[in-house]
A and B are shown apart, each in its own frame.
Chain A
Amino acid sequence: MDILQILVNGIVLGALYACIAVGFSLVWGVLNVINMLHGSFIILGGYLTFFAWFYLGLNPILVLPAVALVLYLLGFALQYLFINKVVTAPVLTTLTLTFGLDMILYNLMTVYFTATPRRVTLDLGIVEFLGVVTPVDRLLGMGLALLLTALLYLVMRGSTIGRAIVAVRMDRQAAALMGIRVNRIYAITFGIGALMAGAAGAVFAMVFPVTTNLTGVFLGKAFVICVIGGLGSVPGALVGGLALGVIESFAGFLLGPQHAITVGFVLMLILLVVRPTGLVGVKGYE
């Protein structure tokens, strides 16, 4: 059995995982909100991509920006109208609120999209290198995932909005005094979180079946990745995603696929206690 193959499987999957988690991590880091809607956002992005491809014949990569925009607007609106009102409340309140909103979104999706698994059947074949096979669509997905993550990183570091978000994260009151409209920044941040989820969904529609049954699975992955990688930083989500991908890949091979996801969760619990800052502990969000 080829160790290299397992490693490559893990890395490719890990890049996709990073894409799941980065938006979730941003929202958690800046707003201090555990966004239970995140899994449904990803699936919604996946469905929109699928329908655009299925009915309009549009290539998922072309649709991606549009889907991301729709999700951004949705996220912005939800934060502006609802979550902002309780954003300073304890975690119990914000978590419960996003869970309630998620139940509504989930219900809407099952009624209008049904739970039928859908997939963009854009099978692009495989590439073989040194005896390692990798599907092209996953490589493409990995490339997009890395690109999106890098883009977010640059926006956070370089743009005015990005600096404002970081400022709000570091000191909400001080930022407000500096003339930053904190609520607007929150809504933008949540919007960006949703945008990243939507983009991830668009990428995933090419690789995974899209069904509302998976919302919980995606959310669970986001939890694990954030804790493993360390909360509130783009590099943290990337490291966490790659680590989880590789760990699951090897655990699946060594212990059997039945235990692969258990290992991820157990590792997360251990890290939570031993090193809550994760593998890449960063104070500010950048």
Chain B
Amino acid sequence: MLGKSWKSAVAATAAAGLVSSAAAVSALAAEEVLRIGAPLALTGGLADEGKKQEAVWQLWLDKVNADGGVEVGGRTMKVEFVQYDYQTDGKRAGQLAEKLITDDEVDVLMAPFGSGHTKIVAAVAERYQVPLIACVASSVSVYDQGFQYLFGTLAPNTGMTESMTAYFKEKMPELRSVAVYGRDDVFPKAMASALADSAKSAGLEVTYNELYAVGTMDHSAAMSAIKAAEPDWVYMTGYTQDLILGRKQMQDLGVEAPIITMVTGPAYREFTEGLGELADGVTSSTWWHHATAYEGAVGPWETTAAFYADFLEAFGTDPDYVHGSCAAAADVLVNAVQTAGSTDKQAVRDALAATEILTFYGPIDFGENGMNQGREMPIIQVHGEEIKVLYPAAIADADLKMID
């Protein structure tokens, strides 16, 4: 899959030990090529997510290069992705970012999946003043360090939890209490605490609010406690494997809440596959859903529908927000290069900061801290085998149903 972008020269350089030459690379850079570097987790704990990024970028790249490349200042530029596997190991992620910048001389970087590893890569990019687009990092703590070269296509978590609380209260006026149970990890923890705050300020009683450690294998104790708290709504965050087990154990231990939200479970196909019938009725929020219908977007896909069709044809499954956000990040990037008129890093960074465009994934407008400005993010629910959109009203195709 990496075929074109893969350079065996890299190997020789590393093997030769410590005397490497950048000469081979600069010969390539002399052609008009936009080089995008991406450290990806293709093996290890985040392999599934990393492979999604890899897949959607390949789709994007094929589409762009089939048209001969992108137009920049009247010239045509080829686009190239240089990717490496960092094995879900933070140290490697940083090392690879540096390799991409210095050895492969990429013009811009894409961050890997997750807030934690994005932070590591962001520190490297900042030091080298290379623009970095993070397409799967949504925790504000990634963006509040005053970094100038970091931009994120996902909107902040807080917007999600507030609109969700408001929506559920509207649909279920007798909603009184919520139990929050989150994984102690950057993103899931941030979502859990954001939801607890939103719920409190919306006047809900938070009857249970706990975190579970990374490496927790069983949730019996927590589920029994949640059952005793009798909440109307259970909100659990974590990785897919945690959520599958969590949902199963809710059933096993008789937790009976009309609303069960799992973040970001139903956004992934693996979740519904792993749960079968138990997935039915689980709600979630997501940053993007393919039911959204944007038109007149920049980049290779003018509409959301066009992207969806291409994706479906290529992979036979529905795209999730990771696919959407990451493909859009590539669009944003090309747009910034076009605005800047070159691949000059400072110019591209300034163009990114000034970005205000519409992509198939939605509007992109980076705020002060580099995060995409808040907008209405979809609430989704599993209905049978399908994922339905409940909110916002403009794209909703189903109504909230309670779990009985």
Please tell me whether chains A and B touch each other in their complex, using a CB distance cut-off of 8 A.
yes
Given contacts A13-B220, A123-B251, A214-B217, contact A209 B245 (CB under 8 A): yes
One of B211, B224, B277 near A6 (C-beta < 8 A): B224
**Segment among B41-49, B322-330, B361-369, B373-381 that sits at the interface with chain A:** B41-49
**A258 engages B184 (CB within 8 Å):** yes
Q: How far, in Å, is B183 (CB) from chain A's closest CB?
A: 10
B278 at the interface (CB under 8 A from A): yes
Q: Which A1-51 residues have a C-beta within 8 angstroms of B?
A: 1-2, 5-6, 9-10, 12-13
**A117 engages B213 (CB within 8 Å):** no
Q: How far, in Å, is B66 (CB) from chain A's closest CB?
A: 29
**Segment among A73-81, A84-92, A186-194, A247-255 that sits at the interface with chain B:** A247-255
B397 at the interface (CB under 8 A from A): no
CA distance A9 to B228 in the complex (A): 14
Q: Which A112-150 residues have a C-beta within 8 angstroms of B?
A: 114-119, 121, 123, 126, 128, 133-135, 138
One of A128, A250, A252, A261 near B215 (C-beta < 8 A): A261
Q: Which residues of A contact B222 (CB under 8 A)?
A: 252, 257
B218 at the interface (CB under 8 A from A): yes
**A208 engages B253 (CB within 8 Å):** no
Q: How far, in Å, is B292 (CB) from chain A's closest CB?
A: 26
A93 at the interface (CB under 8 A from B): no
**A123 engages B221 (CB within 8 Å):** no
Residue interface bits B222-243, CB-to-A below 8 A is 1, else 0: 1011001000000000011100
Given contacts A6-B224, A107-B43, A121-B276, contact A214 B211 (CB under 8 A): no
Residue interface bits B288-322, CB-to-A below 8 A is 1, else 0: 00000000000000000000000000000000000
Given contacts A115-B45, A117-B241, A133-B252, contact A217 B215 (CB under 8 A): yes
One of A115, A116, A220, A252 near B220 (C-beta < 8 A): A252
Q: How far, in Å, is A139 (CB) from chain B's closest CB?
A: 10
**A121 engages B252 (CB within 8 Å):** no
A221 at the interface (CB under 8 A from B): yes
B392 at the interface (CB under 8 A from A): no
CA distance A79 to B270 in the complex (A): 36
A96 at the interface (CB under 8 A from B): no
Q: Which residues of A contact B248 (CB under 8 A)?
A: 119, 123
CA distance A10 to B273 in the complex (A): 28
**A117 engages B221 (CB within 8 Å):** no
Count of chain A residues with Cβ under 8 Å from any Cβ of B? 48
Task: Report whether over half of chain B's contact residues are helix, strand or loop; otherwise say mixed.
Answer: helix
One of B45, B51, B218, B241 near A248 (C-beta < 8 A): B218
Q: How far, in Å, is B193 (CB) from chain A's closest CB?
A: 13
**A213 engages B241 (CB within 8 Å):** yes
**A116 engages B215 (CB within 8 Å):** no
CA distance A10 to B241 in the complex (A): 21
CA distance A107 to B218 in the complex (A): 25
A256 at the interface (CB under 8 A from B): yes
In the complex, residue of chain B having the shortest beta-carbon distance to the beta carbon of A265: B215
Given contacts A2-B228, A110-B47, contact A209 B220 (CB under 8 A): no
Given contacts A121-B278, A133-B254, A258-B211, contact A13 B218 (CB under 8 A): yes
Q: Which B163-201 residues have a C-beta within 8 angstroms of A?
A: 181, 184
Task: Report whether over half of chain A's contact residues are helix, strand or loop; otherwise say mixed.
Answer: helix
Q: How far, in Å, is A205 (CB) from chain B's closest CB?
A: 11
In the complex, residue of chain A having the shortest beta-carbon distance to the beta carbon of B47: A115
Q: How far, in Å, is B55 (CB) from chain A's closest CB?
A: 13
**A258 engages B276 (CB within 8 Å):** no
B244 at the interface (CB under 8 A from A): yes
**B47 engages A114 (CB within 8 Å):** yes
B275 at the interface (CB under 8 A from A): yes
In the complex, residue of chain A having the shortest beta-carbon distance to the beta carbon of B244: A209
B210 at the interface (CB under 8 A from A): yes
Given contacts A9-B253, A257-B210, contact A209 B217 (CB under 8 A): no
B216 at the interface (CB under 8 A from A): yes
Q: Which residues of A contact B212 (CB under 8 A)?
A: 257-258, 260
CA distance A20 to B297 in the complex (A): 54
**B47 engages A1 (CB within 8 Å):** no
**A213 engages B275 (CB within 8 Å):** no
B90 at the interface (CB under 8 A from A): no
Q: Which residues of B contact A208 (CB under 8 A)?
A: 217-218, 245
One of B216, B228, B249, B274 near A261 (C-beta < 8 A): B216
One of B216, B241, B251 near A209 (C-beta < 8 A): B241
A262 at the interface (CB under 8 A from B): yes
B99 at the interface (CB under 8 A from A): no
Q: Which residues of B contact A9 (CB under 8 A)?
A: 220-221, 224, 253
B345 at the interface (CB under 8 A from A): no
**B216 engages A133 (CB within 8 Å):** no
B63 at the interface (CB under 8 A from A): no
**Told that A114-B51, A126-B254, A214-B241 touch, could you supply 7 new A-B pairs with CB distance under 8 A?**
A110-B43, A110-B47, A115-B48, A119-B275, A126-B253, A135-B251, A257-B212
**Measuring CB to CB, which residues of chain B are less than 8 angstroms from any residue of chain A?**
43-48, 51, 181, 184, 210-213, 215-222, 224-225, 228, 239-241, 244-245, 248-249, 251-254, 270, 273-278
- Nearest first, the 5 closest Cβ-Cβ pairs linking A and B are A252-B221, A135-B252, A121-B276, A9-B220, A117-B241
Return 21 A-B CB contacts under 8 Å, by A number. A1-B224, A9-B224, A10-B220, A13-B218, A115-B44, A116-B240, A116-B270, A121-B275, A121-B278, A126-B252, A126-B253, A138-B252, A213-B239, A217-B217, A249-B220, A252-B221, A252-B222, A253-B224, A257-B221, A258-B213, A260-B213
**Measuring CB to CB, which residues of chain A are less than 8 angstroms from any residue of chain B?**
1-2, 5-6, 9-10, 12-13, 107, 110-111, 114-119, 121, 123, 126, 128, 133-135, 138, 208-209, 211, 213-214, 216-218, 220-221, 248-253, 256-262
